Amino acid sequence: MTLLVSDASPQTYRAIYDTVHFAGFIAGAGGDYPTNVRAFMRRVRQKFVAVDPGFSAIKNVRLVGYRWLAP
């Protein structure tokens, strides 16, 4: 989450994936990391919503990645 919160600009799927694993990590077929990132972000959102049902600070930037919206 530090990656998203530290900068209001969109963070790419690859940057998020590399933060979760490590830079250059490749799993399976290799090009499917956006799907994995969407799954990561879904779980992160669920954890925030469990604490705050009105949580909506993580936004998808289509074909790019995600960004954090400051309150």
- Each domain of the chain, given as residue ranges in start order, spans 2-68
Q: Which of these ranges, 15-29, 31-45, 46-60, has the smallest mean pLDDT?
A: 15-29
User: What DSSP character marks residue 58?
Assistant: E
Residue scoring higher pLDDT (47 or 18)? 47
The yes-or-no verdict on residue 54 having pLDDT over 80 is yes
Distance (Å, whole) CA 67 – CA 28: 26
**9-28 confidence digits (pLDDT tens):** 899 998 898 888 887 777 66
Which pTM value belongs to this model? 0.77
Q: What is the mean pLDDT of the chain?
A: 85
The reported pLDDT for the residue numbered 2 is 57
Least Cα distance to 16 among 62, 70, 66 occurs for: 66
Distance (Å, whole) CA 57 – CA 71: 7
